[in-house]
Amino acid sequence: MKKLTGFNLKYLALVLMVLDHIHYMFEFTGKVPIWFSWLGRIAAPLFLFCLIEGFIHTHDRKKYFKKIYLIGAFMGLVQFGFYNVLRGCVRGDGFFPQNAMLSSFTVLLIILQGIDWCREKKWVKGLAGILVPLAVWPILVMDVLMPALMSAGSDLGLFILNGLMMSFLPVHTTIIDGGTATVFAGIVMYAFSFCKNKDLRIFAWGVFSFLWNFGMILLFGGMGAFTEDFLFFSAYEWMEIFAIIPMLCYNGERGKGNGKLFYIFYPAHVYVLFALSILVYNLM
């Protein structure tokens, strides 16, 4: 039975995200069970699903994009600060949060708009919207600007470029949280959203997730990586596939809830948990 609304999925994702981030922030204590992160794998796909639903149904895409973009840019600047000017705020073991899912969503939303422009036969805008964030900007940064600045010994230039690519001009190939996998997963899910059978987008995403995750394990670990210990305690990203279950329970309705909560809660809980982890670390 399809009984879950969009807000139900978001609240479920929120709870699972908190469990995941508790493990992420406090794993050093050895007291947080690994299953917190197992369950947490489901959160990002659910938020991705809700993001695409929001993009499809929102009445103001510019406003929708702006909220995600600005929060993602802010968190990117904070992360950049931890690498550079905020070194004194890093936890004693060198840890600091690198949560940048909203930057991944920012790149994805631009590409989705590009796809829509192409569907409307606005080819120049559409192809630019797809190709610039997906390929042109990453190649320009990594293969042209970065090497040129390094060879010129321009530390200030590198500082500025790194700051921009981690905040206001994100590069999906360098984002640890989501990144390229999330961008392609979102494209697949959105492409199948135009089918009459709405469940096809869910199964298409599931196939992509399976191929991507186990493909990465095979690529970097070989057949020898397919062990119980590795799959359940190291490379357990594949568990995101179980997000299919709540997705299939979605009834297509927005539901009731506080939309602003998610935009505020995401950065707030990350930095609160990080601050608490510093306190716990200093007390141990």
Quote the pLDDT of residue 158: 96
Quote the pLDDT of residue 126: 98
**pTM passes above 0.75:** yes
Q: How far apart are CA 270 and CA 205, in angstroms?
A: 27
Quote the pLDDT of residue 87: 86
Segment 154-164 shows an average pLDDT of 96
Quote the pLDDT of residue 8: 97
Quote the pLDDT of residue 259: 86
Q: How far apart are CA 192 and CA 162, in angstroms?
A: 35
Residue 150 scores a pLDDT above 80: yes
Write down the mean pLDDT value for the chain.
96
Residue spans per domain, the chain: 6-283
Alpha-helical segments (H) within the chain: 6-26, 35-40, 43-57, 61-83, 101-119, 123-131, 137-139, 146-151, 155-165, 179-191, 199-221, 228-233, 244-248, 259-283
Please, are residues 258 and 60 in contact by the beta-carbon 8 Å criterion?
A: no
Q: How far is CA 240 from the centre of its chain?
A: 13
Quote the pLDDT of residue 264: 95
Segment 205-211 shows an average pLDDT of 98
Least confident of 23-27, 87-91, 235-239: 87-91
| Per-residue pLDDT band at 71 (split at 50, 70, 90) | very high
